[in-house]
């Protein structure tokens, strides 16, 4: 379904109200117990489910655009227009009582991330952007990312088990982190892909590596990082799309350095 208005800023403003309305529920549910067991050690809380229901209904009513959510699916993410929602990113953090959890909402137009919103309710930070920038933090436009060097920056990486298998085996991840650490000893695991990505957009991190393939983890961040002047690809260097199996988001300069380290580390299947 095409939106009633092609004005991306207006759509983001409407979406911001929807996320603000869900913030109290998000805050009240801190340390919520697991409600739905998912793959591996992942799970959803009742708050994930409740926020998704509330936000989906409100977004469709306010914008006329369908939603693809983490918990219930919905509109296909290759639709002409679709919101992509992660109601609680960093669910394990959230359930444990950590403040490192977020609400993520991206807008895709024919697969291209054209707007993003990331809410960090426990920290009191709200980020938005539309294609072309700038990144807006708590209502204030931020300067674009400048070119920087890997050795001078923090780098966000996803958590994992060294014995895990799959597309990016644990031993491959260990080797990559070892190689990264030789250039930057400032590696960070926040336990939230969305927070890693918005921190790249905000210049807090120089780069972030995600070994995941879920579009709801990446859509908002892809829009935010690109709007801020960063580079977003998968780990092979191909431009990120909703079907990508990984993500590398970084400031200019850092992206090229991490890409070279990825190349030198070799292919995941060799591990």
What is the mean predicted confidence (pLDDT) over 137-144? 97
Q: Please tell me the predicted confidence (pLDDT) of residue 71.
A: 80
Helix (H, G, I), strand (E, B) or coil at 231: strand
Annotated binding site for Mg(2+): 70, 86, 89, 217
Q: Please tell me the predicted confidence (pLDDT) of residue 48.
A: 82
What average pLDDT does the chain have? 92
DSSP assignment of 157-178 equals: E----TT--SSS-HHHHHHHHH
* Domain boundaries, given as residue ranges, for the chain: 8-141, 150-270
Judged against a pLDDT cut of 80, whether residue 3 lies above it is answered with no
What is the mean predicted confidence (pLDDT) over 208-237? 97
pLDDT grade for 32, boundaries at 50, 70 and 90: low
Judged against a pLDDT cut of 70, whether residue 12 lies above it is answered with yes
Two structure tokens written together for 254: 């850092």
pTM of the model: 0.93
Distance of CA 27 to the CA centre of its chain: 20
Superfamily for the 8-141 domain:
Fructose-1,6-Bisphosphatase, subunit A, domain 1 (3.30.540.10)
Strand 73-74, strand 67-69: pairing: antiparallel
Question: Tens digits of per-residue pLDDT, 100-126?
Answer: 999 999 999 999 999 999 999 999 999
Kind and range of the H or E run holding 21: helix 8-28
Q: Please tell me the predicted confidence (pLDDT) of residue 31.
A: 78
Residues 63/161, Cβ–Cβ less than 8 Å: no
Q: Please tell me the predicted confidence (pLDDT) of residue 28.
A: 87
Tell me the torsion sign for CA atoms 196, 216, 99, 128: positive
Q: Which of 249, 259, 253, 254 is nearest to 228 (CA)?
A: 249
Assess if CATH 3.40.190.80 describes domain 150-270: yes
Q: What count of Cα atoms within 13 Å lies in the side-chain half-sphere of residue 141?
A: 8
What is the mean predicted confidence (pLDDT) over 66-77? 91
For 111, 222, 233, 235, 246, the CA distances from 238, given in Å and listed in that order, are 15, 13, 5, 7, 10
Q: Please tell me the predicted confidence (pLDDT) of residue 185.
A: 84
Annotated binding site: 70, 86, 89, 217
CA distance 55 to 262: 38
Judged against a pLDDT cut of 70, whether residue 40 lies above it is answered with no
């Amino acid at each position: 379904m095409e939106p009633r208005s092609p004005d991306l800023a207006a759509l983001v403003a409407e979406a911001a109200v929807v996320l603000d309305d869900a913030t109290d529920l998000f805050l009240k549910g801190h340390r919520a117990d697991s409600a739905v067991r998912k793959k591996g050690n992942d799970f959803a809380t009742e708050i994930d489910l409740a926020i998704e229901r509330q936000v989906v209904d409100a977004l469709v009513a306010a914008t006329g655009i369908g939603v693809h959510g983490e918990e219930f699916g919905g509109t296909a993410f290759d639709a002409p227009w679709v919101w992509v929602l992660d109601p609680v990113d960093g669910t394990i953090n959230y359930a444990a009582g950590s403040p490192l959890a977020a609400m993520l909402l991206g807008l895709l137009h024919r697969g291209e991330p054209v707007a993003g919103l990331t809410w960090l309710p426990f920290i009191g930070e709200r980020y938005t952007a539309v294609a072309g920038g700038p990144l807006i933090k708590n209502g204030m436009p931020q300067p674009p990312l400048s070119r920087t060097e890997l050795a001078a920056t923090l780098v966000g990486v996803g958590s994992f088990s060294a014995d895990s298998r799959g597309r990016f085996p644990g031993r491959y991840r260990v080797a990559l982190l070892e190689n990264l650490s030789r250039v930057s000893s400032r590696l960070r695991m926040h336990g939230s892909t969305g927070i890693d990505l918005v921190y790249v957009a905000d210049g807090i991190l120089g780069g972030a590596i995600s070994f995941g393939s879920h579009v709801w983890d990446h859509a908002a961040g892809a829009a935010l990082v690109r709007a801020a002047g960063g580079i977003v690809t998968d780990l092979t260097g191909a431009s990120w799309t909703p079907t990508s199996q990984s993500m590398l988001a970084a400031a200019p300069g850092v992206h090229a350095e991490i890409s070279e380290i990825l190349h030198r580390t070799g292919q995941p299947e060799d591990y």
